[in-house]
Structure 1
Amino acid sequence: MKVAIAGAGAVGRSIARELVDAHEVTLLERNAEHIDVNAIPAAHWRLGDACELSLLESVKLQEFDVVIAATGDDKANVVLSLLSKTEFAVPRVVARVNDPRNEWLFDESWGVDVAVSTPRMLASLVEEAVSVGDLVRLMEFRKGQANLVEITLPDDTPWGGKPVKRLELPRDATLVTILRGPRVIVPERDEPLEGGDELLFVTAAEAEDELRTLLLNPQQR
């Protein structure tokens, strides 16, 4: 897979290091001081402004599978996302949101498939760590209008001992995995649920309330 990363600061480099062993990675950076080929020698490095069509054309962005707009400038990330999608038809565009107040911009109308807001993700992880008996949204998948959500079953859950197949999930919700202590459990139909289980779902936003009621307040159904 070919991946272009705009921004070779701490975030961009960290992403590149994670991907470079398995994928062909190109780093785009406009600040010459941030160009350090020896830091990630297996990556391709290009000096230039990722918001300039000439640079994107020179690296043949249309041949890339994924573009990651990871600069520290939200305006640059939005512009690159739009260019990647509209001018080069890149299949997958991931954009970093630096200021949560700008998050409303990072949607499919600006070419963004997945928006990653570090403050929001940290807040979600804090909520996930302390929230039992509530639904916590961990990540938004803008392109498909779906979310990754987590529900921790309380110890006295009425679902304790009942198999996964008894869950009559909303049409637009899918159970992805069950986290039980150190175990990651594939949700087979006959797998019994337990109090304290962390259930991860991919679900449409409009199905979240129904999912919350099903798992946490089944007597209200």
Structure 2
Amino acid sequence: MKIVIAGAGSVGRSISRELISHGHRVALIDRSPEAMRIASVPEADWHLADAGDIDVLTEAGVGDCDVMVAATGDDKTNLVVSLLSKTEFGVPRVVARINNPKNEWLFDEAWGVDVSVSTPRIMTSLVEEAVSVGSLVPVFSFHQSGALMHELTLPDDSPVIGELVSEIPLPPHTVLAAILREYRPINPDGDERFERGDELIFLTAKEGEGTLGEIPLIFSPEDDAPAPEELDELL
């Protein structure tokens, strides 16, 4: 694939190296001379210019690229790049970086964004995941579908330890996507049993968000699951 990345800072360069190592062609755009560390990603096609300029995007080959990544440190620039890429060049896939969580509501299809990635939100989720046991931790939201990904580490006293995965009912619109055990992903098929310390990855449709508290993996049978209005405090 051909990928154009706006923003040649540490994030843009890291993405570029990964993509190039996977066999993709990458072009980098940045208006800052300090960002032109060409030796760090010599295989990329570098452009010292403003990614918000249509002529610059044309020169970088956005018109025939498969993916546009707006990865600058400025949300306004990322929105402009996303909108131009989608409306002027018809890029099939536009991925945009969100620097300020308060701006998340802007990064949608109206601005040409197919997938938004909030760096602060991801960091928060990773921190919560590292310290939370027995609590649902929001990890990721899928922009197009609105589906949500949550993680739960089973506490030692979970009532489902030793039980078959197939015997534990889940609320509507929610599936157990994977079990992480000793750093290995495990397919949660019907013959698998829950073990202490399992990290569970759930996928939930947007309409099922209010029933997440009904997952019978956190609470003992005698406990009362939280009401939907209490779920926000849990998360």
| Same fold at TM > 0.5 | yes
Query: Shift of the alpha carbon at 1:195?
Result: 2.9
Q: Give 3-state SS (helix, strand or coil) of 1:45's partner.
A: strand
User: Which amino acid in structure 2 is aligned with residue 175 of structure 1?
Assistant: L
User: Which amino acid in structure 1 is aligned with residue 91 of structure 2?
Assistant: V
Count of matched residue positions in the alignment of Structure 1 and Structure 2: 221
Q: Measure the CA separation in 2 of the matches of 1:163 and 1:91.
A: 42
CA contact (8 A) 2:159 2:219 kept: no
Matched, 1:19 2:19: yes
User: Which amino acid in structure 2 is aligned with residue 216 of structure 1?
Assistant: I
CA contact (8 A) 1:114 1:140 kept: no
The two structures have a TM-score, normalised by structure 1, of 0.90
Q: Deviations over 1:8-65 (max 9, x none)?
A: 1111111111211111111111223322322211111122211111122223323222
Aligned-pair identity (%): 53
CA contact (8 A) 1:172 1:203 kept: yes
The two structures have a TM-score, normalised by structure 2, of 0.85
Q: Give 3-state SS (helix, strand or coil) of 2:21's partner.
A: coil
Aligned to 2:230: none
Q: Deviations over 1:132-190 (max 9, x none)?
A: 22211111211121122111222222221222222433453332221123332122221
Q: Give 3-state SS (helix, strand or coil) of 2:57's partner.
A: helix
User: Aligned Cα RMSD in Å?
Assistant: 2.0
Q: Measure the CA separation in 2 of the matches of 1:125 and 1:54.
A: 39
- Higher mean C-alpha deviation, range 132-141 or range 170-179: 170-179
Aligned to 2:213: 212
Gapped regions of structure 2 (runs ≥ 5): 226-235
- Higher mean C-alpha deviation, range 20-29 or range 196-205: 196-205
Q: Measure the CA separation in 2 of the matches of 1:63 and 1:171.
A: 42
Gapped regions of structure 1 (runs ≥ 5): none
User: Which amino acid in structure 2 is aligned with residue 58 of structure 1?
Assistant: E
Q: Measure the CA separation in 1 of the matches of 2:63 and 2:219.
A: 49
CA contact (8 A) 2:171 2:214 kept: no
CA contact (8 A) 2:38 2:46 kept: yes
Q: Measure the CA separation in 1 of the matches of 2:82 and 2:73.
A: 14
